[in-house]
Amino acid sequence: MNERDDGLFGALENDGSGAGHHPAHEDDSGTRSTERNSAHASPRKGTAERRNSRNMRAVRENSPPETQTDLFGFVPPEPREQCDPSVGRPARRKPADTTGTASPPDDDDASADRDNAQRPYAAKPTRSTQSAKLADSPAPRRRAKGVLPAEPTQDVLDLAAELPPGVRLGTSSWSFPGWRGIVYGDDYSNSKLARDGLAAYGAHPLLRSVSIDRSFYAPLTVTDYLRYAQQVPDHFRFIVKAPALITDASVRGDRGEPVSANPCFLNADLAAREFVEPCLAGLGAKAGALVFQFPPLPDQLLADPAVFVERLAAFLAALPPLPTFNATPAPNPASAQSTEASEAPSGDAPTGDGPCYAVEIRDAILLTPRFVRALRAAGVRYCVGLHARMPDPLRQAAALALMDGETPAGPLIVRWSLHSGFKYEQAKARYEPFDKLVDEDPHTREALAELAARYAIAGQPVLITTNNKAEGSAPLTCAKLARAIADEMLRMRSDSASMPE
C-alpha cells in the first residue's frame, strides 16, 4: 500500500506552494570575457589603463554578493564546491556579507547571531579616531558592561514554580532589543545581546531553553559552544541545529537557487566531526536536542520518499552514540530568595535528561509510517515543526503516537517557528520589534499544552522553543504556553484521580 495514501496521519500534503525556484543568477562572466578579449586585442594598452581594468575586476570579484531568500524566507548556506569524505570538510570559501537585504529563514531568528559569527569583533579604532569621536560627541552614559535581566513579576515567579523541572520552554535565539522589560532590563543592540545577552536570558524563570540557530549557517567550534554553556545555569538545555552543510540536499547559488546536488548531504562522518563532537564537547550536559532540520527537498528526492527515508536511516545509524547525564532539576523560583536552596521544585522530574538526536522536516509528504519507523529504529526523536509547510500539531502528534505507543517513550521536542497564516517576511514586518503578542494562536497553544502535559506526567523531558514569528513575541508566547501547560497538567491529574480503579 502506498504510504502516501494510507491516511494514517490524515491529509498531510499542505495546501501551500512548494519550495520556490529562482532564475539562474546572472554573473558577470560575459563582462569578464569581453575584458579578456579586449586585452588580447589591444596588446599596446597603457600600463595605467591595464591597472585600472585589473582594479575594477578585483572590486567586482571581491564584492559580497547580494543574498536573497527563497519564497519561504530560507537563506542558503555558503555554496560548497566539493566535499571530500576522506578529509571531512568542503572547500572553504570566504563568507559572504549577510548584513544587507538578506533575511534569516522563516524558522529562525538568528540574523544578528549570524552577523556576529562572521564579524565577532569590531576593528579597534585608532587613537586619532577615538579622539575625534570624543571631541564631536557628548560623554556617553556609564552603564554596566554586561546585560541586565528584567525583574520578573511575582506572577511569573509563581507560574515558573508550577512547571515541572523537566518542562523547558525557550525561544529561537535571544538577540532582540524589543524584549526590553520582558527579558532584558535596559536598551541593548542586537550585537550586544547576541554576544552578552544569554546570561540575562537564562536568568528569566520561564526561559529554560533556547535554540542555537546560527549553527545552521556554518559549523561552530568547541569554544563557541563552551562560551554559551558558561552563561547559563546547570538546568538549562539547548536545542542546536545541525549545519545546512549536512542537511541541505542542494548546493545553492548566491541568490539561494539550487545549482547542483550537495556532495556533503547526509555525510555521517562530517556530521560527527563538524557538529556532534564539538557540540557535546562544549555544551556537555546542557545539550538538549541536536536537531537535523531538513529544508524543502528537491523534486527528484520527493518523487520517491522511500529512497530518502532509506538514506536517512543509514545516516542516523552511523551517527555516534550520545552520552547519558543525570537530570538536573530547575530551582524553585518562588524560593529563590530563601536560604533553603535545597527545596525541591514542584512537578514531575524526568527519568533521564541526556541529549538526544531529532529530525525536523519541511515536506509533509515525508511524514509516513516508514519515516517514523526509521526514526524509532535509530532511537531518534521526531521534532514537531510548527510551520506553514507542515500539518497542525494534532496531526503531527499522530506520528509521535506511532513512535511511542500509548505511553510517551522519549522526550518531546517542538519548534514553533511561524504563524500558519504568514510567510516569514510578512510575519517579520507585522510583528517587529517583537515586544507584544499580535496574532495569538490559541488552537496551537492548546494542542502543544496537551502534548507537553502528557509527556511531563509520563516523566519525559519536554523541550519547546518558539519564534517571534509565531505570535509576535516569543517570550510572551512562552508565558502563555507555560500557563496552558500548568492548567492542562492540573486537569489531567484531576481526571485521573476521579476515574474508578
Q: pTM of the prediction?
A: 0.74
32 within a domain of the structure (yes/no): no
The confidence score (pLDDT) of residue 325 equals: 72
Alpha-carbon 276 to chain mean position: 16
Give mean pLDDT, residues 65-93.
44
Domain assignment present for 280: yes
Band the pLDDT of 303: cuts 50, 70, 90.
Answer: very high
What are the CB-based long-range contacts (under 8 Å, 24+) for 396-405? 396/9, 396/367, 397/447, 397/451, 398/8, 398/9, 398/10, 399/9, 399/367, 399/371, 399/372, 400/451, 402/8, 402/369, 402/372, 402/373, 403/372, 403/375, 403/376
pLDDT digits over 112-141, tens only?
445 444 433 333 444 444 444 444 445 545
92 assigned to some structural domain = no
Residue 404 C-alpha cell reads as 511511542
Mean pLDDT of 151-158: 97
Residue 55 within any structural domain of the chain: no
CB of 55 closer than 8 Å to CB of 101? no
What does the pLDDT read at residue 119? Answer: 34
* Residue 413 and residue 460 in contact, taking contact as beta carbons nearer than 8 Å: no
Name the most confidently modeled range: 9-23, 106-120, 238-252.
238-252
Residue type, 53: S
Task: State how many domains the chain has.
Answer: 1
The pLDDT of residue 264: 97
Q: What is the pLDDT of residue 420?
A: 86
The strand pairing partners of 170, in sequence order, are: 209, 465
pLDDT higher than 90, residue 34: no
Cell of 459: 516523566
* pLDDT for 338: 37
Q: How far apart are CA 338 and CA 347, in angstroms?
A: 19
Identify whether the C-beta of residue 279 lies closer than 8 Å to the C-beta of residue 240: yes
Per-residue confidence (pLDDT) for residue 107, from 0 to 100: 52
> For residues 437 and 416, what is the distance between their CA atoms, to the nearest angstrom?
15
- In angstroms, the CA 201 to CA 210 distance is 9
Cα angle: 429, vertex 478, 453; to 5 degrees: 135
The whole domain housing 258 covers 165-495
Domain for residue 71, yes or no? no
CATH number at residue 334: 3.20.20.410
Residue 36 falls within a domain, yes or no? no
Mean of per-residue pLDDT scores for the chain:
78
In a domain, 424, yes or no: yes
> Cell numbers at residue 19, please?
519550495
Q: For residue 413, count CB atoms less than 10 angstroms from its CB and return exposed for 0-12, middle for 13-18, buried for 19 or more.
A: buried
Share of residues in the chain with pLDDT > 70 (%)? 66
For residues 263-284, give the mean pLDDT.
98
Which pLDDT band holds residue 270 (cuts at 50, 70, 90)?
Answer: very high
Residue 360 lies in a domain: yes
Reply yes or no on whether the pLDDT at 44 is more than 50.
Answer: no
**Contact between residue 467 and residue 171 where contact means Cβ atoms under 8 Å apart:** yes
